[in-house]
C-alpha cells in the first residue's frame, strides 16, 4: 500500500501540470478545432521566462512570496502575448482553410518556438534555484509528501478553479462555451467571435506558462526541448478526457499523471509511452469521444 500511495502522490503532482496544459489544448480546440501543437512549447517558454527572472535577474533573492508571484505572473503574461502573436500571424490567415495546412503551421510554430528559445536561452540545460522552496515535507501515514508538491498541486487547483469559475460563472465564459457549439448562432448573439478566440489563446497560454514554471520549480532542470513531451502528454490527456471538454481535460491530465507514475513505479519508465498510448487507444475504441464526451464546434 505504501508505494502505491507514494506513486499516487507523484502522479497527481505531475498530472496537475499536464492538466493545466491540457486545458489550453482543449479550450482552443473546442472553439476553432485547431490542435495548437505549440501548447507544450508555450509551457517551455513560460519556464524560461520564469528562469530568467529568478536566476538571471536575481529575483530569487527577493522575499520568497514576492519572488514566486512575479515568477508566475510575468511568464503568464509574456507567454500570452507570444500566443496572441502566433494566432494573429500564423493561424488567423488559415482559419477557414484546410485543416492540414493549419496543422502543419501549428507544427511549424512549435519548431519556431523551440529553435527560437534555443537561440535566446541556448541549448544547455538550465536550473531553477534548487533551494528556493523548502525541500522537506511531511509523512501522511506511510506516504512522504513534500511541501513543494502540496503547494504546486494547490496552485494548479486554484488556477483550474479560477478557470472553471470564469467559464461557468461569467457571461464571457458562457460565450466561450457557446462558441464551442455553434459559431454562427454565437455571432447572432452579438458575440465578437475573434475576441473570444483571442481570449481562449490568452487563457491557454497562461495556464501553459504556469505549468512550465511549476515544472521548473519541481524538477529544477529545464531545457528548450522540454515542451515536446509535456505537450504530447497534455494533448493525450485532453483527448482522453474528451476534447473540448474542460472537466475532461483536468481529469485526463490527472489520469495520465497517475498512469505514468504507476508504470514507472511498478514496471519501468521505459514503457511509459506504450502504456499511456495503449490506454488512450483502448479508451477511444470503446468510447470514441473520450471519457467525458467531446464538446466541439462544427467546422466553420
Partner 1 sequence: MAVLEVRDLHVFYGNIEALKGISLQADAGQIVAILGGNGAGKTTTLRTISGLLRPRSGSITCNGKSLVGLSAHGIVAMGISHVPEGRRIFNVLTVEENLNLGGYLIRSDRAMVQQRKGAIYALFPRLLERRMQLAGTLSGGEQQMLAIGRAIMSDPKVLMLDEPSLGLAPILARSVLRTVREIADRGTTVLLVEQNARQALTIAQRAYVIEVGRIVLEGEASELAKDERVQKAYLGGFEAVSSASPEP
Partner 2 sequence: MTADELMLTIFVIFLALAFVRMLAYRLYGEDPRFTQWLNRVDSVPYWSRVIAFLLVMGAVAYVDGDEYFTSVMVSVATYAMLGLGLNIVVGFAGLLDLGYAAFFAIGAYTSALLMTQTHWNFFATVPLAVLFTGTAGAILGYPTLRLRSDYLAIVTLGFGEMTRVTFTNWDYAGGPNGILQIPFPEAFGYVFQTQFDFLIVGLVLLAVAMIFAQHLEHSRLGRGWIAIREDEFAAESVGVPSLRLKLFAYVMGGMWGGLAGGFFATRIGAIDPTSFTFSLSVLALIVIVLGGTGSLPGVLLGALVVVGLPEVLRQFADQRLLIFAVLLVGMMLVMPQGLWARIRRKPKPFYGLQEEEGEDVAAKILREHQVQMEERDRRHAAAGHRVIKEGEAILEVEGVVQQFGGLRAVDNVTFEVRRGEIFSIIGPNGGGKTTLFNCITGVQRPKAGRIHIDGRSVVGLRPHVIASRGVGRTFQGIRLFKNMAVFENVMVGLYPRHRTMTWQAMLHTPGERKDELRTLQESRRWLGFVGMEAVAGRLATELSYADQRRVEIARALAAHPHLVLFDEPAAGMNPTEKVELDGIIRKIRRLGITVVLIEHDMSLVMRVSDRIAVLDHGSLIALGKPAEIQQHPAVIEAYLGREEDDLMERAQGA
Q: Where are the alpha helices (DSSP H) in the chain?
A: 2-32, 39-51, 64-86, 99-121, 147-169, 171-179, 183-188, 193-219, 226-241, 246-262, 272-286
185 lines the binding site for partner 1 (CB under 8 A): yes
**What x-and-dash track marks residues 3-42 binding partner 2 by CB under 8 A?**
--------------------------x---x-x-------
269 lines the binding site for partner 2 (CB under 8 A): no
Nearer to partner 2, 2 or 288 (CB): 288
99 lines the binding site for partner 2 (CB under 8 A): yes
280 lines the binding site for partner 2 (CB under 8 A): yes
Report the nearest approach of partner 2 to the CB of residue 93 (Å).
6
Nearer to partner 1, 124 or 188 (CB): 188
Torsion from C-alpha of 260, 25, 238, 160, nearest 10 degrees: 80
Q: Which does 186 bind (CB under 5 to 8 A by kind): partner 2, partner 1, none?
A: partner 1
Q: Which residues contact 140 (CB under 8 A, 6 or more apart)?
A: none
**Whole-angstrom Cα distance, residue 56 to residue 58?**
5
Q: Which does 271 bind (CB under 5 to 8 A by kind): partner 2, partner 1, none?
A: partner 2
Q: Which does 101 bind (CB under 5 to 8 A by kind): partner 2, partner 1, none?
A: partner 2
Q: Which residues contact 191 (CB under 8 A, 6 or more apart)?
A: 175, 178, 179
- The grid cell for 16 is 496537475
8 Å CB contact between 136 and 147? yes
Footprint of partner 1 on this chain (CB under 8 A)? Answer: 171-172, 174-175, 177-178, 181-182, 184-193, 295
Amino acid at each position: 500500500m505504501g508505494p502505491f500511495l507514494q506513486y499516487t502522490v507523484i502522479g497527481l503532482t505531475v498530472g496537475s501540470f499536464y492538466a493545466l496544459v491540457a486545458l489550453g489544448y482543449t479550450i482552443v480546440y473546442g472553439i476553432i478545432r485547431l490542435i495548437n501543437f505549440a501548447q507544450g512549447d508555450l509551457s517551455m517558454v513560460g519556464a524560461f521566462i520564469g528562469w530568467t527572472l529568478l536566476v538571471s535577474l536575481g529575483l530569487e533573492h527577493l522575499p520568497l512570496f514576492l519572488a514566486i508571484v512575479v515568477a508566475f505572473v510575468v511568464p503568464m503574461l509574456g507567454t500570452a502575448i507570444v500566443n496572441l502573436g502566433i494566432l494573429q500571424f500564423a493561424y488567423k490567415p488559415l482559419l477557414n482553410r484546410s485543416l492540414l495546412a493549419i496543422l502543419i503551421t501549428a507544427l511549424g510554430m512549435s519548431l519556431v518556438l523551440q529553435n527560437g528559445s534555443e537561440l535566446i536561452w541556448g541549448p544547455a540545460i538550465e536550473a531553477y534555484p534548487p533551494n528556493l522552496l523548502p525541500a522537506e515535507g511531511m509523512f501522511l501515514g506511510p506516504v512522504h509528501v513534500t511541501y513543494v508538491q502540496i503547494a504546486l498541486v494547490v496552485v494548479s487547483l486554484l488556477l483550474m478553479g479560477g478557470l472553471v469559475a470564469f467559464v461557468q460563472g461569467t457571461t464571457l465564459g458562457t460565450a466561450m462555451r457557446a462558441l464551442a457549439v455553434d459559431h454562427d448562432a454565437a455571432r447572432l448573439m452579438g458575440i465578437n467571435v475573434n475576441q473570444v478566440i483571442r481570449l481562449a489563446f490568452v487563457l491557454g497560454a497562461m495556464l501553459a506558462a504556469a505549468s512550465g514554471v511549476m515544472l521548473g520549480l519541481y524538477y529544477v532542470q529545464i531545457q528548450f526541448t522540454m515542451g515536446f513531451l509535456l505537450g504530447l502528454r497534455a494533448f493525450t490527456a485532453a483527448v482522453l478526457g474528451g476534447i473540448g471538454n474542460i472537466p475532461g481535460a483536468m481529469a485526463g491530465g490527472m489520469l495520465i499523471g497517475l498512469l505514468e507514475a504507476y508504470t514507472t513505479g511498478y514496471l519501468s519508465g521505459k514503457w511509459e509511452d506504450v502504456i499511456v498510448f495503449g490506454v488512450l487507444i483502448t479508451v477511444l475504441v470503446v468510447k470514441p469521444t473520450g471519457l467525458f464526451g467531446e464538446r466541439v464546434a462544427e467546422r466553420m
